[in-house]
């Protein structure tokens, strides 16, 4: 397989997973540790090297976010092999999105990682959407519309949830790198609103519009 991939210049991913480590490595380390994931990945890199194949990318995935972060950091520290980031079997949409954002996002923010995969127990289209948002949040992918809204509090004078729902519906399908901020009062709203491309700080019967 390596010979054929080399002939066709096809890269290969060495995908190590904390749930399927080799038995001898597992025995040596006791349980799946970052060092164990690193050792397994390097073993396979070694096999590739024996065949003169260097066009590899490594993943050291785990369902445990802290473990995958630690393992990827080790590989990044000790090699310059490209890395494919992911939290494996991250779970249903809500939990999986958060785990992926924390795991993948932490590493990307440190400059670690070359490709990513978000793995959710949901429609694969959602995985792409979440992946894109992770990249956008770190300015690693071009932005579409970015909506900023306050969490609401006792100062709120308008139906902010309703306004946001209407706005989201109206903006669906629009792909422009525009930052829109909607804030619920004229106390803290103006500062945030004035930094957006279009911002609104709503008050009692009035609103300040920034453009």
* Residue 145 or 208 having the CB closest to ligand SF4: 208
| Residue 93 makes contact with ligand SF4 by CB under 6 A | no
| Residue 189 makes contact with ligand SF4 by CB under 6 A | yes
* CA 186/CA 209 separation, integer angstroms: 11
Which of these, 113, 167, 141, lies nearest to 130 by C-alpha position? 141
For ligand SF4, which stretch binds (CB under 6 A), given 50-58, 82-90, 146-154, 167-175? 146-154
* Residue 138 or 153 having the CB closest to ligand SF4: 153
Residue 92 DSSP one-character state: S
Q: Closest distance between ligand SF4 and the C-beta of residue 168, in Å?
A: 18
| Residue 150 makes contact with ligand SF4 by CB under 6 A | yes
| Residue 152 makes contact with ligand SF4 by CB under 6 A | yes
* Residue 120 or 183 having the CB closest to ligand SF4: 183
Q: Closest distance between ligand SF4 and the C-beta of residue 4, in Å?
A: 59
| Residue 158 makes contact with ligand SF4 by CB under 6 A | no
Listing DSSP states for 108-172 in one string gives HHTT--SEE----SS-HHHHHHHHHHHHHHTTSS----EEEE----TT--S-HHHHHHHHHHHHT
* CA 129/CA 125 separation, integer angstroms: 6
Near ligand SF4 by CB under 6 A: residue from 108, 182, 183, 200: 183
Which of these, 78, 25, 35, 95, lies nearest to 60 by C-alpha position? 35
| Residue 13 makes contact with ligand SF4 by CB under 6 A | no
Write out the two tokens for 167: 């706005």
| Residue 153 makes contact with ligand SF4 by CB under 6 A | yes
| Residue 155 makes contact with ligand SF4 by CB under 6 A | yes
Q: Closest distance between ligand SF4 and the C-beta of residue 61, in Å?
A: 38
Q: Closest distance between ligand SF4 and the C-beta of residue 192, in Å?
A: 7
Strand pairing class (207-210; 198-202): antiparallel
How many other CB atoms are found less than 10 A from the CB of residue 195? 12
Write out the two tokens for 165: 């729902």
Q: Which residues bind ligand SF4 (CB under 6 A)?
A: 150-153, 155-156, 183-185, 187-189
């Amino acid at each position: 397989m390596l010979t054929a991939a080399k002939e066709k210049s096809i890269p290969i991913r060495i995908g190590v997973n904390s749930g399927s480590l080799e038995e001898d490595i597992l025995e040596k380390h006791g349980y799946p540790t970052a060092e164990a994931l690193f050792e397994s990945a390097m073993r396979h890199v070694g096999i590739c090297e024996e065949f003169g194949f260097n066009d590899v990318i490594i993943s050291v995935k785990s369902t445990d976010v802290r473990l995958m972060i630690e393992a990827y950091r080790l590989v990044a520290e000790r090699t310059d092999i490209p890395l494919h980031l992911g939290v494996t079997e991250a779970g249903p949409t809500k939990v999986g999105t958060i785990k992926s954002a924390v795991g993948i996002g932490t590493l990307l923010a440190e400059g670690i990682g070359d490709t990513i995969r978000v793995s959710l127990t949901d429609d694969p289209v959602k995985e792409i959407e979440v992946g894109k948002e992770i990249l956008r949040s770190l300015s690693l992918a071009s932005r579409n519309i970015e909506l900023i809204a306050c969490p609401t509090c006792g100062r709120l004078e308008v139906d902010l949830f309703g306004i946001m729902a209407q706005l989201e519906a109206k903006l669906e399908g629009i792909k422009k790198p525009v930052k829109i901020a909607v804030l619920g009062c004229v106390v803290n709203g103006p500062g945030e609103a004035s930094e957006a491309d279009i911002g609104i700080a709503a008050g009692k019967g009035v609103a300040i519009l920034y453009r």
